Amino acid sequence: MKKFLFLSVSALLLAACGSKPKTAEVVEPKLCDAFPDYTVGVAINVNQSNQKDAEGVAIIKQHFNSIVAENCMKCEEIHPEENTYFWDDADRFVEFGEDNNMQIIGHCLIWHSQCAPWFFVDDKGKQVKPEELKQRMKDHITTVMTRYKGRITGYDVVNEAILDDGSYRPSLFYQILGEEFIPWAFQCAMEADPDAELYYNDYSMAQPGKRAGVVELVKKLKARGIRIDAVGLQSHMGMDHPSWEEFEASIKAFIGAGVDVQFTEVDMSALPSVNFGANVSDTEEYRAELNPYAEALPDSVSAVWNERMTTFLGIVDKYAKNVRRVTAWGVTDADSWKNDWPIKGRSDYPLWFDRKGQMKPFLVDRMKKKGLM
Ligand code: G3I
């Protein structure tokens, strides 16, 4: 507001001085300028990276300095058959980031979900042998990272491999290779692009069991001289989770283990929680009472939601010197996966811009505090 006032007065003064006022260019404040200590990112879908969603693209370009591909770099999308890669969407995504001078994040190289089925089946239709699976992981990681070498800042090398109790998810990677699949993935990534940052990424990271499991994983990698630069706390939150005390304990534990932290998939469901996790395959049946704000979010709920998001950012800022990035998992509420997960067909309000593309109050307040509005 102050900036706008300044420009109007200048124009009047110029006019008063008899010279033709130059049309003062009104500089729109940028959200990322309110986060000087770390990058502020957003997950973008193919309609945005392919420039079809003009409104979404305008918000991304105006407010964010980092992007991550919501889906187009996942194994099933980019490497659908053993000898077939589909690069178009990932290329558009990377070019979008380069054209807009943004930090570009690769999500994700090794994940139990959305992994192309061929990955685990040999040419005789049997389960692939350990050595063959290691070779396939190496080929996938090396091919993707080589194509985008020097263009992608960092990768979620392994995603969601530890359960809430700290044990290893019994994925096919784990069943075939045991714990070794994780060091192997990071080793392959280190060799493929020595300059790329390498992350372990997971949800429900405020769970004490998962915290302990991830700390142990980080320490094991480091003890073997395998580089891991940061741990990603996805931060899929709700009105009743996570406990801020546990959330902060996890941040401190990961930093204490010798890695930075980043908040990689931030959203906060405004709806009744039925699932505190983010495991894509955990879904529930639709029940009207679980979709209470089908038309709009009541102001009273919105006020609590914005307060919780302010608390979240307050905790993040406390550890800013070890925070690399905060990324919203989508542009506007309409884009969010939470409208259809864990229950299809709900209206949720989890992101930083509403369905009209308006920035939400917790961010407007932050920008005003920083003198940007
Ligand atoms: O692209 C196809 C489209 O051609 C088809 O018509 C349509 C209907 O079946 O499906 C489309 O693919 C969907 C894709 O999103 C793109 O919209 C997949 O079915 C759907 O499963 C996929 O969901 C994504 C989910 O990961 C699974 O990959 C969500 O958008 C995405 O937000 C979610 O993100 C994950 C992170 O990668 C990892 N952390 C958890 C997070 C939430 O599950």
Please tell me the residue having the least CA distance from ligand 1 atom 40: 278
Establish whether 289 is a catalytic residue: no
Active site annotation includes 265: yes
Could you read off the pLDDT tens digit of each residue along the chain, which spans 373 residues? Answer: 444 444 444 444 444 444 455 566 777 899 999 999 999 999 999 999 999 999 999 999 999 999 999 999 999 999 999 999 999 999 999 999 999 999 999 999 999 999 999 999 999 999 999 999 999 999 999 999 999 999 999 999 999 999 999 999 999 999 999 999 999 999 999 999 999 999 999 999 999 999 999 999 999 999 999 999 999 999 999 999 999 999 999 999 999 999 999 999 999 999 988 888 888 888 888 888 899 999 999 999 999 999 999 999 999 999 999 999 999 999 999 999 999 988 899 999 999 999 999 999 999 999 999 999 9
- Which entry of 25, 265, 289, 307 is annotated as an active-site residue? 265
Q: What percent of the chain has pLDDT over 70?
A: 94
The pLDDT, as a whole number, for residue 22 is: 59
Residue 32: what pLDDT? 97
Q: Which atom of ligand 1 sits closest to the CA of residue 77?
A: 1
Alpha-helix residue ranges (DSSP H) falling in the chain = 2-16, 46-49, 54-63, 75-78, 88-99, 130-147, 172-177, 181-192, 208-223, 244-256, 299-318, 361-369
Please provide the size of the chain in residues.
373
Residue-range domains of the chain with CATH: 30-369 (3.20.20.80)
Give 288-304 pLDDT, tens digit per residue: 889 999 999 999 999 99
Mutate to test the pocket of ligand 1, among 71, 156, 284, 336 (most ligand atoms within 8 A of CB): 71
Q: How far is the CA of 72 from the centre of ligand 1 (A)?
A: 9
Q: Is 154 helix (H, G, I), strand (E, B) or coil?
A: strand
163 and 210 Cβ atoms separated by less than 8 Å = yes
Ligand 1 within 6 A of CB of 53: no
Out of 262, 280, 331, 341, mutate this one to test ligand 1's pocket (max ligand atoms within 8 Å of CB): namely: 280
pLDDT of residue 278: 87
Query: Among 282, 337, 348, 351, which residue has the most ligand 1 atoms within 8 Å of its CB, making it the best to mutate?
Result: 337
Confidence (pLDDT) at 23: 61
Q: Could you give the CA distance from residue 274 to residue 284 in angstroms, rounded to a whole number? A: 8
Q: Tens digits of per-residue pLDDT, 222-259?
A: 999 999 999 999 999 999 999 999 999 999 999 999 99
Cβ of 111 closer than 6 Å to ligand 1, yes or no, is no
| From 82, 160, 179, 197, the catalytic residue | 160
Residues 345, 73 contacting (CB under 8 angstroms): no
How wide is the angle at C-alpha 310 spanned by C-alphas 305 and 312, nearest 5°?
A: 95
Give every CB contact of residue 126 below 8 A, 6+ residues apart in sequence.
none
Write down the residue that tokens 């980031």 correspond to: 97
DSSP for 43-93, written as a single string: EE-HHHHTT--HHHHHHHHHH-SEEEESSTTSHHHH--BTTB---HHHHHH
Between the CA of 288 and the centroid of ligand 1 the distance, in Å, is 23
| Cα–Cα distance for residue pair 284/275, rounded to 1 Å | 9
- The atom number, within ligand 1, closest to the CA of 76 reads 28
Between helix 244-256 and helix 208-223 the angle, nearest 10°, is 10
